Homo-oligomer: A and B are copies of this chain.
């Protein structure tokens, strides 16, 4: 069995694949962690900190058993997922369009991070979490919940981080979280396309392909020199992928809001979805930190 997260993997996808593969092996089911793309600087920082190698880069899964982490969407799955057998899904997003022809297990909960659910799985199977695995799970939760600031964060996530920090022997987990987000904020010198794609997800919205990227930083001023390049790049990306829209969220985790950069066949969607009028292809979405909870659902409703 391969355990693999979504395309353009984030820390939740990578750390979750490692943590779940370890658990499966402990309960007698042979499993290998894999990934569908390059590590982000944040994820590389986490793995380095706790002494892990990157999981195997593997793009094709035809004929294999696959356990999916952190999504249930065809657009985010391996291209040949239809030729694989999905044996399980652990996720914390809306229910997507993956289907199977055989029974499977799904551990899906409305919490802030897949790793919070993987901790529940360790508890269910009564398996001890090794110190270094607790460390990467904790970091994934701090990343997905924006150090508990995201509206997606639940008390289950907070309790889980506290328990994992104890196992990992980390005294000040918030300081470690800020260190992570500083790594994430170092955007200068990186090509615009790499930044747009760093945390990018495609969605099928009422038959339209919609790509939404997100960059979470400590201060939006890091984008002042490169915003124009990012705007030009999402217009290109939209055309290349035959997408209806590409949006890029520039999220300020301290001010707790996001500037959305817009490339769309129908800009009025933004007004309908978020009640703000874009000016020159941009708008400020106050209080918006979560793509999953605050950006995708209203947009999906606007498309419906």
A residues within 8 Å of B by Cβ? 72, 86, 89, 92-110, 124, 152, 292-293, 296-297, 300-301
Q: Which residues of B contact A98 (CB under 8 A)?
A: 95
Q: Which residues of B contact A152 (CB under 8 A)?
A: 103
Q: How far is the CA of A60 from the CA of B128 in the complex (A)?
A: 46
A110's partner among B105, B292, B297 (CB-CB below 8 A) is: B105
Count the copies: 2
Task: Verify B99–A95 contact, CB threshold 8 A.
Answer: yes
Taking the nearest CB of chain B, how far is it from the CB of A215, in angstroms?
22
Identity of the chain B residue whose Cβ is nearest the Cβ of A204 in the assembled complex: B99
Task: Verify B99–A292 contact, CB threshold 8 A.
Answer: no
Identity of the chain B residue whose Cβ is nearest the Cβ of A95 in the assembled complex: B100
Q: Which residues of B contact A293 (CB under 8 A)?
A: 102-103
Q: Which residues of B contact A301 (CB under 8 A)?
A: 101
A-B contact pairs, 16 of them (CB 8 A): A86-B95, A94-B99, A94-B100, A94-B102, A94-B104, A95-B98, A95-B100, A96-B99, A97-B99, A101-B297, A101-B301, A102-B110, A102-B293, A102-B297, A105-B109, A106-B108
Task: Verify B92–A103 contact, CB threshold 8 A.
Answer: yes
